[in-house]
Amino acid sequence: MRERPAVEIEFLKKRYGKFVALDGVALSVPRGTVFGLLGPNGAGKSTLVKSLLTIIRPTECRGSLLDKSIGDRKTLARVGYLPEHARFPDYLTGREVIRYSAGLAGVPGRIAKERAEALVGTVGMGDWGDKKVGTYSKGMKQRIGLAQALVNEPEIVFLDEPTDGVDPEGRIEIRKLIEAMREQGRTVFVNSHLLGEVEQVADEVAILSRGKVIRSGKVRDLTAGSRMFEIRSLGPVPPEIRGKLETAGLEVAGDRITVPAADAGEVQGVIDALRAAGVVIRELKEVRQSLEELFLSAVSSARQEGGKP
Amino acid sequence: MRAALAILWDSFRLLQARKLFWFALGISVLVALFYASIGFNAKGMTLFFGAKTMENPLLQEGKPEAAAFYVMIFTDVIVKLWLAWVAVVLALLSTASIFPDFISEGSIGIALSKPVGRLRLFLLKYFGGLMFVALQVTVFTTIVFVALGMRVGEWNLTVFWAVPVITFVFSLLYCMAVWIGIWTRSTLFALLGAFMMWGTALLVQWGEEGLYEISHFNPEAGVTVDFRSGTRSEGESREKDPEMVAMHRNIERAVLPLPKTRDATNYLKRLVRMKERDSLLSGVTLDDLLKGELPDPKKAAAMKRLENRHSAAYVFGTSALFEVVILSLAAWIFCRRDY
């Protein structure tokens, strides 16, 4: 039997007075994957996650989280969460923050102590675990935040802008931690506006704009939809062949010819035509649209459809 | 249960981290030690563990008046001035920020994303805040209990009534700070709201007590006050002025919905019981004992009626009702809000 998704939102709406923050969102997050929710500021990413975690009360919501209705409080014992701009009590040490979170999640004291011990090491805070959070840098707080999100050994972890304020080295470590969570079989739901990072780690993404999901699917499928090949010639493409290529709908710029094609077979005819015209080919490569390009075009299209520039 | 322990433990750690907590505790211990230094010998009362003697015909070693006086210092002076005033102010200053900090962005999300109901979370956090006063008063009262046992030979467990009573008095103000703190998310407004409520309640309670004295106590005790010269004279009991009695009844009604912080503190004197004082020294004040004279029975009876004019249901019941209403409003906002 096929495993049910970790998150399955059939319909999610959140309205603040006249402002609609989430406008009937529907999405599905497969178990054991890293899912990236992308969107510009104010798109509703945090609102969506908070709605799933009962931090916000949705106006209308149908769907399931870990096979239970969204909003079921007991299910939250199987969930981990690192909020955006996470704030922990300054008077607690890193280890105490993790144990406090464990206590709230109902983890027995002895087990919480053992896990806190292991997790401070996992997030690279072993030497700082007994120091007060008030003395931590932003990156250190994020690491402790990750550790507290994992202390109840959750089946799904929600990370809202996990690399916000973290230095490049820290970002790489957080990415590795996310990959490790996936290897452990956890589902990771990442909210981020840092597309490059999500692209490196996410299996699936959804793009949210103005409270609506405008694109969603596997990263590979979404970027493959606009796959191209790029041919570089030795010197500029001669005008006579350039005219023919442009007439055929190809883009030619100097020594570069861009061929929209799903596979290499479709490019062979162009290569033959170039060689027949005596053009020396010095490079042929497959070009995929990056997630950033996909995101920008999707958001731009959505804005145009919405009637704003 | 684990979640409850985690929240209460976090509250305890928060209090430990507050300098004011240790400052207040330090002064509490000093005040309690000063109390313990008071003793009695054959001549009168001694201070600073016998370093200074104040002669008094009533307050002498072995006399029931001395024991009653020793308890009265606790119920009439220390509780009223230190525990119910200064310690409560320090506690409010320390705890007013608990809820505004707790519901701030990035902090509340972690707690709400756990399998703990919002109402439970709210109540646990609220009770955690009350620990500030409960711990202070427990330490203080323990020293007083030991001092009382050693000085007058009476191991009087009723002094521990101070712990729930003073914590209750604090909770009447703290609930106001919690409500406004949750509503406005501002520590400053929370403090202002609590102090304004306290001030209003005190003014009305003072007014009620003043009117009781004029309308009931003075006629019963035969006391006449000349308001122009400010002199008091004592004579025979006289008829009560019906207008003043009606006026007192009206102000008593006005006090009804308010928290009775002062009345609750005063009620402690009725809860801390001593066999000798309750039988022989009923209605005798601290001033009487310090002067070394006992009042006439008529005045003592009137004083006793003044002290006992309000029932426990009136003092604690109506105050608790106030607290329930305010806490319900706070809990409603806390539970309904999107964070």
The residues that bridge with A187 in the sheet, in sequence order, are A156
- The pLDDT of residue B87: 86
CA distance B87 to B84: 6
- B104/A91 Cβ within 8 A: no
* One-letter amino acid for residue A10 of the chain: E
Question: A90 in contact with B at a CB cutoff of 8 Å?
Answer: yes
CA distance B86 to B91: 9
Which letter does DSSP use for residue B310 in this model? S
A306 — pLDDT class (breaks 50, 70, 90): low
- A96/B111 Cβ within 8 A: no
Q: Determine the structural domain holding residue B107 and report its residue range.
A: 2-336
Better pLDDT: A71 or B236 = A71
Tokens of A64: 């399931």
- The pLDDT of residue B281: 65
| pTM greater than 0.90 | no
What share of chain A has pLDDT > 70, as a percent? 97
Residue identified by tokens 């145009």 is A304
The residues that bridge with A63 in the sheet, in sequence order, are A9
Q: Look at A132-136, A255-259, B227-231 and tell me which has the smallest mean pLDDT.
A: B227-231
**What are the backbone angles phi and psi of residue B213, rounded to the nearest 5°?**
-60, -45
Helices (H) and strands (E) in chain B, counts: 17, 5
Over range B110-139, report the average pLDDT: 93
The distance from CA B131 to its chain's CA centroid, rounded to whole angstroms, is: 16
CA distance A66 to A68: 6
Averaged pLDDT of chain B: 89
B336 to chain A: which residues are within 8 Å by CB? 57
Tokens of B125: 């956090």
Give tens-digit pLDDT for A236-263.
999 889 998 988 888 899 999 999 887 8
- Of A88-92, A298-302, B19-23, B295-299, give the range with the top mean pLDDT: A88-92
Query: What is A227-287's CATH number?
Result: 3.30.70
Over range B30-38, report the average pLDDT: 90
pLDDT value at A114 more than 90 = yes
Q: What is the secondary structure of A153-191 as a DSSP string? A: --SEEEEESTTTT--HHHHHHHHHHHHHHHHTT-EEEEE
The number of beta carbons lying within 10 Å of the beta carbon of residue B77 is 13
- Of B44-48, B67-71, B209-213, B275-279, give the range with the top mean pLDDT: B209-213
pLDDT value at A216 more than 50 = yes
Q: Look at A261-275, B86-100, B294-308 and tell me which has the smallest mean pLDDT.
A: B294-308
A17 burial (CB, 10 Å; 0-12 / 13-18 / 19+) is: exposed
Over range A197-218, report the average pLDDT: 89
A2 — pLDDT class (breaks 50, 70, 90): low
CA distance A208 to A201: 18
End-to-end C-alpha distance for chain A, whole angstroms: 47
Over range B86-114, report the average pLDDT: 92
Over range B290-306, report the average pLDDT: 80
pLDDT value at A163 more than 50 = yes
Q: Which residue from B9, B104, B338 is facing A87, i.e. has the nearest CB? A: B104
Please choose, from the candidates A233, A243, A230, A244, the residue with its C-alpha nearest in 3D space to the C-alpha of residue A278: A233
CA distance A224 to A39: 20
What share of chain B has pLDDT > 90, as a percent? 50
pLDDT value at A34 more than 50 = yes
pLDDT value at A81 more than 60 = yes
Query: What is A7-223's CATH number?
Result: 3.40.50.300
Mutation target to probe the B interface, by most B beta carbons within 10 A, among A13, A55, A61, A75 is: A55
Question: A190 in contact with B at a CB cutoff of 8 Å?
Answer: no
CA distance A3 to A289: 31
- The pLDDT of residue A307: 53
- A92/B10 Cβ within 8 A: yes
What domain count does chain B have?
Answer: 1
Over range A285-305, report the average pLDDT: 77
Please tell me which residue of chain B has the smallest CA distance to A96: B10
**Half-sphere exposure (Cβ direction) of B43: Cα atoms closer than 13 Å:** 7
Better pLDDT: A193 or B214 = B214
Over range A29-50, report the average pLDDT: 93
pLDDT value at B293 more than 90 = no
- The pLDDT of residue A135: 94
Question: A104 in contact with B at a CB cutoff of 8 Å?
Answer: yes
B72 — pLDDT class (breaks 50, 70, 90): confident
ipTM associated with this complex: 0.79
Domain borders along chain A are 7-223, 227-287
> Between residues 1 and 60 of chain A, which touch chain B (CB distance below 8 Å)?
16, 50, 53-57
Which letter does DSSP use for residue A308 in this model? -
Over range B83-97, report the average pLDDT: 89
Contacts of B1 by beta carbon, 8 Å cutoff, 6+ apart:
none
- B17/A56 Cβ within 8 A: no
Over range B54-69, report the average pLDDT: 82
Q: Which residue from B5, B17, B109 is facing A103, i.e. has the nearest CB? A: B5
CA distance B17 to chain A (A): 6
Please choose, from the candidates A32, A183, A167, the residue with its C-alpha nearest in 3D space to the C-alpha of residue A122: A183
- The pLDDT of residue A225: 64
* One-letter amino acid for residue B116 of the chain: V
A309 — pLDDT class (breaks 50, 70, 90): very low
